[in-house]
Amino acid sequence: MNKKAENIIVGISVGDLNGIGSEVILKTFEDSRMLELCTPVIFANAKILSFVRKSFTSTVQFHGVDKLDQVIPGKVNVLNLWREGVDINFGVNDPKIGEYAIKSFTAATKALKDGEIDVLVTAPINKYNIQSEDFKFPGHTDYLNQELEGDALMMMVQDNLRVGLITDHVPLNEVASHLTEELITKKIETIKKSLVQDFSIVKPKIAVLGLNPHAGDGGVIGKEDDLVLKPTLKKIFDSGTMAFGPFPADGFFGSGHYEKYDAIVAMYHDQGLIPFKTLSFGKGVNYTAGLDKVRTSPDHGTAYDIAGKDMADYNSFKEAVYLAIDIFRSRNQYEEISQKPLKIKEKQL
């Protein structure tokens, strides 16, 4: 990755057109100062976005292009992926709209993979209406994990609060069977690497939550914490990674204990996301750590209930853009330092 630090090209998949995705995208770039940080490229259709723009008060201007080499720096660009009209019915779960959401997402992913955009920010999709013979993934992350290099890990970020997941979209009754020494070690090392290269934290401290109530209470409430988590964390710590725990999850956030760590690792989806979303106040970002490319997303869904009503809060999407830019710059800096380490010259006597 040897891209320039300025004029970062932010590719944006439009998400579910019947949801709030296109609204929060356009609202984000109404502030012209955003264009001093990046050049956005929305993978969609300019006429469709013109229609969406009329559904709420907006002054944002965008430039339609047919190829990525036509993108104008410092402008809001819309790459026309299709020409046909699309019937938009705000708030409606429509499989046809799901097809366009995936068309946008897969095209943006290819552009990211090919280096035609620098980072990817994805607007929300509906996990049900995107399913087809060509796309059989639960969501963005699983597809990105297939297409890009590395091992994807869901990390929720809001300022200095970072929550990573050992398991993500796994049914609760299957979580314990997934918790192996190999998986826990791999995920924690991925989080450590991300903290170093993506967030410029030299010696990160990582807190790990227990699986069971009271982290098993000495084996009285489940055996996994004592038999799997504790010995695995000891090995990880002895290898040089500052991972601590397992901590009882119930009071960890309410007590403010989380503030002492650079990241918190949750065993399953809701264990991490419920406290995170409670604390993040609509400004959280879903970051896919562990991959060779940068992808972020807002921490909310399609919000069909308010779609088309000019009520959507765009702060989470804006923060997703900011974070993608920050991580891209951090990775460039980390790579530069790694390739050109400082040479200590011996003093001349």
pLDDT tens sequence across 79-117: 999 999 899 999 999 999 999 999 999 999 999 999 999
| Residues 189, 257 share a domain | yes
| Residues 166, 85 share a domain | no
pLDDT score of 344: 40
342 pLDDT band, cuts 50/70/90, is low
For residue 310, being part of any structural domain is answered with yes
Alpha helical stretches, state H, the chain? 21-28, 46-53, 95-113, 140-147, 175-178, 181-197, 224, 230-238, 269-280, 315-339
| Residues 281, 179 share a domain | yes
| Residues 275, 306 share a domain | no
pLDDT for residue 40 is more than 80: yes
| Residues 205, 108 share a domain | no
pLDDT score of 128: 87
Which has more pLDDT, 58 or 256? 256
pLDDT for residue 345 is more than 70: no
Q: Alpha-carbon Rg of the chain, whole angstroms? A: 21
According to DSSP, the residues that pair with 243 across neighbouring strands are: 206
pLDDT for residue 191 is more than 60: yes
For residue 348, being part of any structural domain is answered with no
Residue 8 in tokens: 């970062």
222 pLDDT band, cuts 50/70/90, is very high
| Residues 200, 183 share a domain | yes
Count of the separate structural domains present in the chain: 2
For residue 245, being part of any structural domain is answered with yes
d(CA 120, CA 118): 7
Q: How many residues does the chain have?
A: 349
For residue 338, being part of any structural domain is answered with no
| Residues 171, 282 share a domain | yes
For residue 140, being part of any structural domain is answered with yes
| Residues 169, 304 share a domain | no
For residue 184, being part of any structural domain is answered with yes
Q: Which domain holds residue 275?
A: 151-291
Neighbours of 121 (CB within 10 A): 29
Q: What is the CATH number of the domain that holds 247?
A: 3.40.718.10
**What is the mean predicted confidence (pLDDT) over 163-186?**
95
* pTM, full prediction: 0.92
